Amino acid sequence: MRAYLASSIAVTCAAALALPLSLATPAASHKPAAYPARPDVEVAGSTQSLPLAPLRDDRRAIGSPGTAGAAQGLTRRDVRPFSLVGVVWDDAHAHLHGTVQVRTRATGSGEWSAWQELETHNDEHGADPGTAEAAAAAVRGSTAPLWVGDSDGVEIRVRPVDGSGADRGPTEPLPTGLRLELVDPGEERAPEGAPDRSGALDDKAPMTRATHTTRTTHRGPTVEEAAAFSVNAQLAPVGTAVIPAAAAAKPYIGPRPKIITRKGWGANEKLRERGFVYTKSVKAAFVHHSATGNNYTCKQAPSVLRSIYRYHTQSSGWRDFGYNFAVDKCGNIYEGRAGGVGKPVLGAHTLGFNTNSMGIAVLGTFSSSTPPAAVTTAIARLTAWKLGLHGGNPKGKATLTSGGGNRYKKGTKVKFNTIAGHRDGYATACPGARLYGKLGTARTASAKYQGRP
């Protein structure tokens, strides 16, 4: 199930994903007393939350068992089925200075995987300091999640390290309240009915809880007119070219690509907070990788998304899925945070620079793996349309004001490429060296989709 999907199958998957996915028969959501889920609902999918304990038999553990410097984890054990893992802790502002490694047992075969490492510094993804989302009592520190596929056994070890990365004594103790989160995305039914067109009208979402509700205007077509064109383009028969009357006029707006809606990938809207939060515009797009690994097929991408969504809301305590959009390795584009794909929805993706920007997460890890060409194309098509709605030039620059919490002091004005990588705004490896190296190609292609010379 973890083999890479062949290109012929990918075409079939992309077509199938346009159909609505119904949720399976509801199963009780696991909500430990220390971390109550929000809200209290019966939904498909579940999360097992297991507290970590000192590893008394770990010879590499630092400190005596039970002390703050001791390694923590869980020995091999049977658990209910799950497909994604992550680790959370009490204080969202505390850093985990250490390594987190897990191995899992595949359901059915009983085969144990090799040790896999989770990215520990996940605080650079999140809401800006001073926002209601960042200050919520439910927010916790967390690692990046890792997709492991259908599993029913787990073992984990968390070791503190010093500043050089060697096990010679920690500079800081491990954060308190370490818990292993095992996420089951829930089963899927076969697609039913006609292709899902709900995304064509999602820009009608009301702007409640808005931070800014000003209407964005441009020379030429308005946002509403551009969105109307995009709807027509989406509803047109496959292979039909839809050319707007103002295609050659400024501002340049690329045609809206096919976007699989939240309904399409099976998002349970009861897991997120009600209402939507908006910013004034979308001046820049930050590209990320999800760091969840590459062991998924594109048919499984909706399950990966549902797992990340549950991890963001129920484990990390965020108000919704953090990114505005997601792209799988077959180039399928998905709606992320709710509020309308054509609107400037405030996300939680690039700490300190979420205002007036959007976040695009490519599902996978691209530190040493090269993303398929379909990924670059999807980024280019999406940014040509979305940045175009707000007058953005994909080959240009955009100035954003730091909200703090990153390498820039709060209030600092920073100039970015309009299509930037997460590492441009924070000291992080995201979106991975191989994906970051493709952003120049994406900028050029995006500008061409907008019709720029």
Q: What is the amino acid identity at position 384?
A: A
Q: What is the pLDDT of residues 399-414, one digit of tens each?
A: 999 998 888 999 999 9
Encoded amino acid at 99, one letter: T
Looking at the chain, the whole-number percentage of residues with pLDDT higher than 90 is 62
**Domain coordinates of the chain in residue numbers?**
25-184, 198-449
Instruction: Report d(CA 335, CA 53) in Å as an integer.
Output: 38
Q: Are 36 and 67 in contact (CB under 8 A)?
A: no
Total Cβ atoms within 10 A of residue 37: 21
Q: If pLDDT is split at 50, 70 and 90, which confidence band does 56 have?
A: confident
Hey, CA dihedral for 441, 447, 450, 453, is it positive or negative? negative
Of 270 and 216, which is predicted with more confidence? Answer: 270
- Give the Cα separation of 147 and 308 in Å (integer): 9
Q: Domain 198-449 - what CATH class?
A: alpha beta
Cβ-contact 205, 345 below 8 angstroms: no
Determine the Cα–Cα distance for residues 167 and 159; give it in Å rounded to an integer.
Answer: 8
Per-residue pLDDT, 126: 83
State the pLDDT confidence band at 89, using cuts at 50, 70 and 90.
very high
| 215: confidence class by pLDDT, cuts 50, 70, 90 | very low
Strand partners, 54: 72
Give CA torsion, residues 281, 283, 289, 290, to 10 deg: -10
**Contact residues for 434 (Cβ-Cβ < 8 A; gap 6+):** 366, 367, 368, 369, 370, 371
The overall average pLDDT reported for the chain is: 79
Per-residue b or e along 301-321, where b marks 16 or more CB atoms closer than 10 Å to that residue's CB:
bbbbbbbbbbbbbbbbbbbbb
Helix (H, G, I), strand (E, B), or coil: what is residue 145? coil
Q: What pLDDT is recorded for position 164? A: 52
Each residue of 105-137: pLDDT tens digit? Answer: 999 999 999 999 999 876 677 888 889 999 898
- Give the position of tokens 């929000």: 38
**Max mean pLDDT range (6-20, 115-129, 426-440):** 426-440
Judge whether 184 and 7 are in contact, CB under 8 Å.
Answer: no
Antiparallel, parallel or unpaired: β 419-421 and 284-289: parallel
pLDDT tens sequence across 192-214: 333 333 333 344 444 433 343 33
- Is the model's pLDDT at 218 over the cut of 60? no
Pairing state between β 98-106 and 146-160: antiparallel
Q: Do domains 25-184 and 198-449 have the same CATH topology?
A: no
d(CA 180, CA 139) in angstroms, rounded, equals 16
What pLDDT, on the 0 to 100 scale, is given for residue 121? 73
Q: Are 338 and 272 in contact (CB under 8 A)?
A: yes
Q: How far is CA 416 from the centre of its chain?
A: 21
Alpha-carbon Rg for the chain, nearest whole angstrom, is: 22
The span from the first CA to the last CA of the chain, in angstroms, equals: 44
Q: What percent of the chain has pLDDT over 70?
A: 71
Any idea what DSSP says for residue 445?
Answer: H
- The arrangement of secondary structure in 25-184, i.e. its CATH architecture, is Sandwich (2.60)
